[in-house]
Each structure stands twice: as C-alpha cells, then as structure tokens.
Amino acid sequence: MLAIIVIALTALAMLAGQSLPERTGPPIENISVERTALEPGRITLTLRNTGPDAVTVAQVAVNDTFVDLVGAADPIGRLESQTITLDYPWITGQPYLVSMLTSTGLVIEHEIPAAVATPVPGVAFFGLMALLGTYVGVIPVLLGMLLLPVMRGAGVRAVRFVLAVTVGLLAFLIFDGTSEGFKLAAASSGAFGGGTLVVLGAAIAFLTLTCIDRYLRGRRPAGTTGASELRLALMISIGIGLHNLGEGLAIGSAYAVGELALGAFLVIGFTLHNTTEGLAIIAPLARRRRTPLLTLLGLGLIAGAPAILGAVIGAGVDNREVSALLLGVGVGAIIQVVIQIAPSLRTQGRSDLDPMVLVGVGVGILLMFLTGLVVPA
C-alpha cells in the first residue's frame, strides 16, 4: 500500500514539473449573469466568466440599442466576476434583451422577462423577510404539532400508520428539494459545479447527521425508550429545518429580484403545505406519556425557524449556488431521518410490512402533493 502511494506521488510530481501545452484555436468565451439589479434609469449586472479564456466586454446593447457602459474595463479571468452598470430608462413590466459584445466579436445575451425595481435592503425589508419566514416556517409547523393529544389517544397500529405517513411526507420533500436544487443549479453560472453542489450538500448533511445520531445514541442510557423517541423527533426536526432553510433561501432570492407575488393566498398555500411537517415531528412522541411544552416548542422552532434565516439570507445574497447547496443539505438530512424512522414501521415478530404502512406512505406523498398544488410560487 505504501509503495502505491509513493508511486502515485512521484507521478504527480513529474506531471507538475511539466509545462502544459498551450491550447490553440479561437478563444472560448462564456459569461454568466449571476445577479440583475434594476434601479430607476439603470441596470446593474454581475457577470462571472465560466469559460476557459479571459473575456473583455467591449459594448452592450439593450433591445438592439447600444447603451453607455460603466465597469468591466479589464478582462474578466476564469471564474472571476465583475459588475457592469448600464444607463437605460427601462419601464416596469417590459421585457428586455441585454446583448454583450466581447472584444472578439462574440455576442452573449441575457434576458430580463419583466423589469421590476430591485428592493433596497434595509431594516423594513429584512423585517418583512423575517415575517414571511415565520409565516411559511414556524407557524405551520407549530399548528401541525397541536395534533399531539389526538395522536396520544390512538392505538399502536394508528401510530405506526402516522409514522408511515411521515415517511411519505419526507419522501416527497426529498423529491421536491432535489428537483428545486437541480433547477436552481441549472439556472446558475455552473462555475462551481452546478448540480454537483446539490449532491455535495446532501452528502455533507447525511454524514453530519449520522455522526450526531451516533453521538446521541452513545449518550442514551440503556433501556430508556423515551429518550429514543425524543431523539428521533429531534432528528426529524433538524432534517425538516434544513429543508426549510433551503426553502427560505429560494423565497428570499425570488423576492429580491421581484419574482414572488406576496399575498394572502401565497401565505395560506405555504401554511397548508408545511403544516404536515409538524405532524411528522410529533409522530414519534405519541407513545410518550408526557412531553414538556418547552421541548415541543423547541422542536417546532428547530424545524421552522431556519425558514426565517433562509429568507433573510436569500434576499440579501441572492446566490443560486448557495441556494442549491443548502437545498441539497436539506435533502441529505431528510434521507438520514427516513433511515432512522424505517425500523419503527415494522411490526415486532414479523419480517413483512403491514399493508397499512404502505398505505400510510402513499397517503403522505399524496397529502404533500395536494397541498403543494395550493402554493402558486
């Protein structure tokens, strides 16, 4: 084994000592617009070079009309970013096509489907984001947790059915978070891996939560089932919280560029969609005789409060790569939680699954799908 490592290091050293041949042929230029900010009479674009060669933006046209350009006087190196400002009297609601002409004559286009003034960050703006995160994260989760007394009055088979519904809910969140993450990654510059960021975030979260779970298992006294149920509820809360962090990021980023229509219908839609997450948290606690109110409140805040943080960060940063990475983190966390719940679905003394468990998983997926249809964004 040591000999293989020595040979590999020697080969790498030999490759490092050799100069790479220069690439011949025409330059390969590619620019991605990471952020678009619109102010009265001005359009600001943040550009990132995602190609192998340096790019110099020589001229810019908006709807086939050349405009005054400020910024990007120097070539933009690979993976570097620069900001350019265009003097243009845009009109709210109108579409615009920005054509960037490089020094080699290549035209790179960027479309603005509907011009909307970019909100100016401030105390009131971030306060609104925090309020929106509370509406879509904390309140729905706590509302769902109010069903705990009903769950305690149910039988063992009913509790197992609810746990199966929880698995269905989480399975839908895995699919939803993965698809949203890849969608954001596809819309990003791709300079930092694109869809790979979603997979990387999922792997990091899965391994981290696995370590946390092993640590909590090691601290649990032998024979304390209540501690095991509380541990499972905590893991579910963490997984849902990381998912809501990514959801808040997407909401904040969309609002920052004027793509999210705020209204009562949107709030109601997210509330219905996320209330089921509270049900998932209390499902393992139904077998406990008593759970302190502060413990329940803490679990609800762990699951819902990250939506507030995500909305504030998303509105201030508006970075698709960060949003894709954190959506992947949520996906990995929920996968780990599903693995934790799976053993509770089996009936003691039986190797096969109760048909009610399969029905419960299907009900959970269908429930999340139907409530998701209510959300217009």
> Percentage of the chain surpassing pLDDT 70?
75
For 41-83, how does the pLDDT look when each residue is reduced to its tens digit (9 = 90+)? 899 988 888 878 888 888 899 988 899 888 877 888 887 888 8
List Cβ neighbours of 59 (8 Å cut-off, separation of 6 or more). 66, 69, 100, 101
**Which regions of 122-277 does DSSP assign to beta strands (E)?**
none
**Which regions of the chain does DSSP assign to beta strands (E)?**
31-39, 42-49, 57-62, 65-67, 69-70, 81-87, 96-102, 107-112
What value does the mean pLDDT take over residues 209-216? 76
Q: What is the mean pLDDT of the chain?
A: 76
Say how many C-beta atoms besides its own lie within 10 A of residue 81's C-beta.
16
- Scanning the structure block, which residue is given the tokens 């819309």? 187
Q: Which two tokens stand for residue 350?
A: 């039986």
pLDDT value, residue 86: 92
Stronger pLDDT, 346 or 89, i.e. the higher one:
89
Beta-bridged to residue 109, according to DSSP, are 99
Closest CA to 60 of 110, 115, 117, 112: 110
- H-helix or E-strand containing 294? helix 293-304
| Interatomic CA distance for residues 286 and 227, integer angstroms | 13
Question: 19-28, 79-88, 185-194, 367-376: lowest mean pLDDT where?
Answer: 19-28
Phi, psi of 175 (to 5 degrees): -65, -45
List Cβ neighbours of 194 (8 Å cut-off, separation of 6 or more). 185, 186, 188, 324
pLDDT value, residue 20: 43
What value does the mean pLDDT take over residues 228-256? 77
- Scanning the structure block, which residue is given the tokens 């997926």? 365
For 265-284, how does the pLDDT look when each residue is reduced to its tens digit (9 = 90+)? 445 555 666 777 787 788 78
pLDDT value, residue 269: 56
pLDDT exceeds 60 at position 18: no
Determine the number of helices (DSSP H) and then strands (DSSP E) in the chain.
Answer: 12, 8
pLDDT exceeds 50 at position 19: no
For 121-138, how does the pLDDT look when each residue is reduced to its tens digit (9 = 90+)? 677 777 877 887 888 788
C-beta of residue 312 within 8 angstroms of C-beta of residue 319: no
> Percentage of the chain surpassing pLDDT 90?
5
Range of 16-20, 140-144, 257-261, 264-268 with top mean pLDDT: 140-144
Sign of the torsion angle spanned by Cα atoms 281, 285, 291, 295: negative
Residue 349: pLDDT band (50, 70, 90) is: low
| DSSP states of 220-256 | SPTT-HHHHHHHHHHHHHHHHHHHHHHHHHHHHHHHH
164 Rama class: left (phi>0) / alpha (psi -120 to 50) / beta:
alpha
pLDDT exceeds 60 at position 222: no
Phi, psi of 82 (to 5 degrees): -145, 160
Q: pTM for the whole thing? A: 0.61
pLDDT exceeds 70 at position 337: yes
Residue 210: pLDDT band (50, 70, 90) is: confident
